[in-house]
Structure 1
Amino acid sequence: MDSASLLDTYGYLGIHPKKTRFHLANNERLRRLSKMRVLLLSCLAILAIFPAPFWQLAPISVHASQQQPNYRDDSVANVTGTPMDIAWTPDGRMLILMRSGKLLIRANGVMLPTPAIDLSQVTCTSGDEGMGGVAVHPNFTQNNYIYLYYTYQKSGTCTTGSANAPVNRLSRFTLSSNNSINPASGVVLLDSPPLPTFDHMGDDLQFGPDNNLYLAIGDGGSPCCTSTFNYPEDPGVLLGKIVRLTDSGGIPLDNPFTGSNSARCNLTGVPPAGSPSGTRCQEVYAMGLRNPFKASFDPSGSRYFINDVGNATWEEVDLGQPGADYGWPTREGPCSAANPVTDCGPPTPGLTNPIFWYGHNVTADGVKCGAITAGAFVPNGLWPGFDHSYLYADWNCGGIWQLDSNNSGGFTSTFFAKVGAAGPISMRFGPYGNSLALYYVFGNYGSKGQLRRISLSSSLVSLVEGTDGAVYWNKYTSGSWNTWQYLSGSTSTTPSLCSASPTRTELVLRGTDNGVYHKSFINGVWSTGWDSLGGGTFDQPACVVANGVLHVVVRGTDNGTWYNSMQLSTGGWSGWSVVSGGSTLSAPSLTVDASGTVQLVVRGTDNGVWHSSKPSGGSWTGWDSPGGSTPDTPAIVSDSNFLYAVVRGSDDGIWYNTMMLSSGAWSGWSWVGGSTSASPSLTQDSSRALHLVVRGTDNGIWHNMRNMSGSWSGWDTPGGATLNQPAAMVQGSTLFVIVRGTDNAVWTNTWSLATRSWSNWSSLGGTTSAMPSIATSA
């Protein structure tokens, strides 16, 4: 039987490759496989007939059967081989760790063709072996450090079960700005003991909120219920452990085993030769684990959840605590490992039960579960109803569940999504536009894998100044726009909308008294009343949200460039202050880059283009200029590497420039082609391609796209005409455009990123005397 056939057989039985050792000759494999089929069916029969009260030992609810609405699961990239983990650098590069020993990089929406590093020649990949964990140093912007956990041919062989067997190694490397890693930059921080088998590597590696490294190491394949192969509960062996180290591989002062009867074990995974019997490893943070596959820290607190793959009966989530012993191989889930169905309850003194567990009778769309793998905490405020929630996935059945604490002191598990017949390995929240999404890697330990993304399907909201001066709003949801509704208040310019999260949008406008006013749109409901920021302006305000702060910049009535900010959590405003003494003749433009730095570009009183920036938590820089001139407001967007600017030149031509964020250097102005009689509109899709929409000098609506190789596609038009700057933004795979028609009515059209074609213009009803605004909303 070839390896592909074996994988097919495992899928039929619902057996996870991380659970069972297949290192026998093919005939012996078949014999063992037949016995396993009988054992599995016997276990399932026992679970099926066991009395219901047993299943209620844990204060949890039965897994629900329906999938959460309003979420989308999109393919991001296909990869060759099995992806094992993902992480991000502060500049937005995604690191994708491959089991084969390669580290791939996805930058600016494109998978780079060359791995940053390829250690496949020294990485073992039998059974559970391979590259399993990647972490980025919290101070990466200064030191460029990343960390890799992999199975290393320390003695030149991948044969396990001897003193020359491979080891699980933790190393630090330096990732250069050109997306490459010199293997010589590697610094070995820790080796496990020589591996007894090629099972149960563990795999999770990440920095905790204390800026220490937490590494989950599997037990190396220890069998159930034994006292002769009890590495997980031996604090003197780095197998079946959570290890905690400083960023340089040192021992944190508050690690649990640092007394006189302890020693460093980083060289061989055990105390140095000659150490007294019972010497404990200083690296150990917690122990008694079987195959701690993935783990996660709660970003809003101190919780550390560990997903430990079970044996025959239970999958478990453990609360990471210093010195905890979770009991394997004598305990499985809440029970004795020897009698996991009949001998359950509180553990013996010195052992710690999991906080949550589920049996192998749980299913997802009829497929039996049995191998807990990926886990991630949902950042508070990101998804409605998910504050303080933990998500965990099961490899066997391809399901993801939401785990929440309940009033009984335990946890309630609710089915969230079915992402495939099997295969989720690791999941992390990472950047998606101006927000975050859940990314997960998916594979069957074969030749094909996927990187996918789950995000909230946001709606769109649009606001206009009616021809009566009043403020009206409309919402796009489920594929269509609703009707215009009066919001209250009045304005004499276009309102400004900026998205704070998939569930919150901020509105800032100029009142008819020239004052600056604010409202919030949270979970589809507008806040009551208007906040007055004080001050005054003659133009549309600019706003952007970064790191929980709403930033507002306006042209003051003195032509000064004025700044104010509001903490979203408290609603408190900072008060107006002038930005570095600059002045402007038009409305300013704001955007935020991947680091959270606010970027500001204005038309100066000399008609020149001027730029300033405000780092997160810092002050505004001085002004710099790329040269050039404009009679209107510049259009800008930013990603992890560049600030992009497009302006209407003094010749009515359409001109483009970029600033490299790392150096502050501008590329120089280049003509896009075409001409315009208004400010341009600029937006960016998830692949980092730019979409430029303008009102031509013929009043027509024109579109151009710049791909990440730097080429403009050329102008295309959906037809139609407008008297103002168009409003444009990308949501998902669609470019939305809203304009004021020559009849003062509000019109909309869409352009498909997939087919690169326009739909047809449709009227939203109502009339306006200014450019509409558009943003994402709940």
Structure 2
Amino acid sequence: MRHILSRFPRPWLALLLACCLALLAACGGGDDDDPAPGPTTGSLMVSIGGLPAGVAGAVTVTGPASYSKTLTASATLTDLAPGAYTLNAASVTQGTGPLAPTPVTQQVQVNAGATASASVLYAAATTLTLGLQEVASGLSVPIFLTAPPGDSRLFILERAGRIRVVQNGTLLATPFLDISTLTTTSGERGLLSMAFHPQYASNGYFFLYYTNLTGDIVIERRQVSAGNANMADPLSALTILTIPHPTFSNHYGGLLSFGPDGYLYAGTGDGGAAGDPPRNAQNTNVLLGKLLRLDVNASTVAQPYAIPPGNPFATAGGAGGRPEIWAYGLRNPWRYAFDVPAQLLYIADVGQANLEEVDVRPVGQAGNNYGWNIMEGTQCYNSASCNQAGLVLPAITYNNDTANGCSITGGYVYRGAALPELAGQYLYSDYCSAWLKSFSYSNGTASAVKDWGITNVGNILSFGQDAQNELYMLSGTGKVYKIVRK
């Protein structure tokens, strides 16, 4: 080698050595290879114990990238994106009674290249008896109750147009907002609900659903006062949407709620009268008898809302229909609720005369036709037979004659901490009979309908839910009750 190199002039020799060194560096320094890329996903081993043979559990796992999966038995979930995963376990029913899970809710961190673990143990539930604890009185037709995320206050809507605040157990004398000059309580009109923006703590936005003086539906954005957390800014109104509601003063629906996708949903009635004579509920070119879905996260006067991707009629000429519509075929939804852990949507729809119903579908399922006025509940409406193709049938119904009812009042799936035996059960009532009932829903089937023996509380106007997911019943007597252990 030395003999060969000696033939090269010194400048050329230096250049040759530099090239050799550069070649070795580019090759990684000889025999060392680049390290193989590390794993990018992890696993979660979920152990579900305490269940008798043949009894399925109900554990819903949610996590990053909208991950959601319901387990009925022990399993290992693989290919999971790293991050925090939440397990929500619901009570299940056995022949001898309910089985309650422990813990009801837990969070587990999944790391790339590792397997995390979590366990849920079912055991015979202690006998749960429910009662009502009065939290407010002297209200004028309390029609709705809600709270901002993470807030300890209760916001109670009076149908005549006032929003009252309960703070530290005291009903404040000064309303949070008073729009009584903008609405009327004729028929079923009035201030019907409100929804706090998911980022209310930072942006102060909340949304109203009310009827104006001509009877049309108004969805409006407002903002809290800059200097007083218990007072709204009276000059902050921005109209999001006005929906014509001509001729009749009933069937307004009336619930606003933000879904787990961050979009604003609104349930509208069919326009009133009996039987929906204009067939509004089945007409996808009008917004009555619908569940609407709007993007209000960047609302301006010029563009009050946008159409979220995934709305079934979002593309012009695609399927024919208004792009705001998420679902249709509703008579008078009073009320609906999202159960985020199970990724289910519950809609309580008031019947015409015979059947009251609760519909349950996956949260992300667009374009559902809930059947009105082709059907009332599970029965063909005004005909011996009807074409039921493509219609969503109710999860449960009840007959007004046998249940002493007249109009369903929909509630929520219980996800609070105070009553773990009630976890996963949907609570509902009836305006006339005022009973409190619940049922469980899993694997596409409703079961374990239970009457909780609640009586003598007046007409039940609505349910409410606070920021801790505890539930309330609002009575026509002007009182608000919290559902508690008796």
Q: Is the 8 A contact 2:347 2:410 kept in 1?
A: no
What amino acid sits opposite 2:197 in the alignment?
A: H
Q: CA deviation at 1:456?
A: 2.2
**SS of 2:479 mapped into structure 1:** strand
- Tell me if 1:254 matches 2:299: no
For residue 420 of structure 1, the aligned residue among 456, 469, 483 is: 456
Aligned to 2:478: 449
CA gap 1:180/1:421 in 2 versus in 1, 3 angstroms: closer
- Tell me if 1:232 matches 2:232: no
Q: TM-score, normalised by structure 2?
A: 0.67
**How big is each residue's C-alpha offset from its partner over 1:177-227, in whole Å with a ceiling of 9 and x where there is no partner?**
342222320111111114320001102111111111111111111432x6x
Aligned to 2:396: 356
CA gap 1:361/1:140 in 2 versus in 1, 3 angstroms: same
**How big is each residue's C-alpha offset from its partner over 1:61-108, in whole Å with a ceiling of 9 and x where there is no partner?**
9xxxxxx75433111111331011111123322111111011111122
What amino acid sits opposite 1:220 in the alignment?
A: G
Take 2:243 and 2:452, find their aligned partners in 1: how far apart are those partners?
36
CA gap 1:353/1:141 in 2 versus in 1, 3 angstroms: same
For residue 292 of structure 2, the aligned residue among 243, 246, 259 is: 243
What amino acid sits opposite 1:441 in the alignment?
A: L
Aligned to 2:174: 114
Take 1:220 and 1:436, find their aligned partners in 2: how far apart are those partners?
32
CA gap 1:387/1:352 in 2 versus in 1, 3 angstroms: same
Q: CA deviation at 1:295?
A: 1.0
Aligned to 2:99: none
Residues 662-673 of structure 1: pairs in structure 2 closer than 5 A = none
Q: CA deviation at 1:245?
A: 0.8
Q: CA deviation at 1:436?
A: 5.5
Q: CA deviation at 1:430?
A: 2.3
- Tell me if 1:86 matches 2:145: yes
Take 1:409 and 1:133, find their aligned partners in 2: how far apart are those partners?
30
Aligned to 1:52: none
**How big is each residue's C-alpha offset from its partner over 1:377-430, in whole Å with a ceiling of 9 and x where there is no partner?**
111664243232111111110011111137894433111232436411222332
Take 1:422 and 1:111, find their aligned partners in 2: how far apart are those partners?
21
Aligned to 2:56: none
Aligned to 2:428: 392
Q: Is the 8 A contact 2:128 2:485 kept in 1?
A: no
Take 1:450 and 1:212, find their aligned partners in 2: how far apart are those partners?
31
CA gap 1:300/1:213 in 2 versus in 1, 3 angstroms: same
- Tell me if 1:322 matches 2:366: yes
Aligned to 2:15: none
**SS of 1:239 mapped into structure 2:** coil
Identity of aligned residues (%): 31
What amino acid sits opposite 2:437 in the alignment?
A: W
What amino acid sits opposite 1:149 in the alignment?
A: Y
**How big is each residue's C-alpha offset from its partner over 1:239-270, in whole Å with a ceiling of 9 and x where there is no partner?**
011011113432111111112227xxxxxxxx
For residue 378 of structure 1, the aligned residue among 414, 422, 428 is: 414
For residue 351 of structure 2, the aligned residue among 272, 286, 310 is: 310
For residue 214 of structure 1, the aligned residue among 265, 279, 283 is: 265
Aligned to 1:169: 218
Take 2:392 and 2:236, find their aligned partners in 1: how far apart are those partners?
40
**How big is each residue's C-alpha offset from its partner over 1:282-302, in whole Å with a ceiling of 9 and x where there is no partner?**
110111111001111113121
Q: Is the 8 A contact 2:130 2:452 kept in 1?
A: no
CA gap 1:258/1:143 in 2 versus in 1, 3 angstroms: same
Take 1:419 and 1:284, find their aligned partners in 2: how far apart are those partners?
38
Q: CA deviation at 1:112?
A: 1.2
Q: Is the 8 A contact 1:426 1:441 kept in 2?
A: yes
For residue 184 of structure 2, the aligned residue among 121, 124, 143 is: 124
Q: Is the 8 A contact 1:84 1:133 kept in 2?
A: yes
- Cα RMSD between the aligned structures? 2.3
Take 2:410 and 2:191, find their aligned partners in 1: how far apart are those partners?
16
Q: Is the 8 A contact 2:457 2:475 kept in 1?
A: no
Moved more, 278-287 or 114-123: 278-287
Q: Is the 8 A contact 1:299 1:379 kept in 2?
A: no
What amino acid sits opposite 2:470 in the alignment?
A: A
What amino acid sits opposite 1:195 in the alignment?
A: P
**How big is each residue's C-alpha offset from its partner over 1:650-709, in whole Å with a ceiling of 9 and x where there is no partner?**
xxxxxxxxxxxxxxxxxxxxxxxxxxxxxxxxxxxxxxxxxxxxxxxxxxxxxxxxxxxx
For residue 181 of structure 1, the aligned residue among 215, 221, 232 is: 232
For residue 470 of structure 2, the aligned residue among 433, 437, 450 is: 437
Gaps of 5+ in 1: 1-60, 62-67, 159-165, 263-277, 458-778
Take 1:379 and 1:211, find their aligned partners in 2: how far apart are those partners?
19
CA gap 1:449/1:124 in 2 versus in 1, 3 angstroms: same
Aligned to 2:82: none
Residues 248-287 of structure 1: pairs in structure 2 closer than 5 A = 248=299, 249-261=305-317, 280-287=321-328
Aligned to 2:447: 411
Q: Is the 8 A contact 1:372 1:394 kept in 2?
A: yes
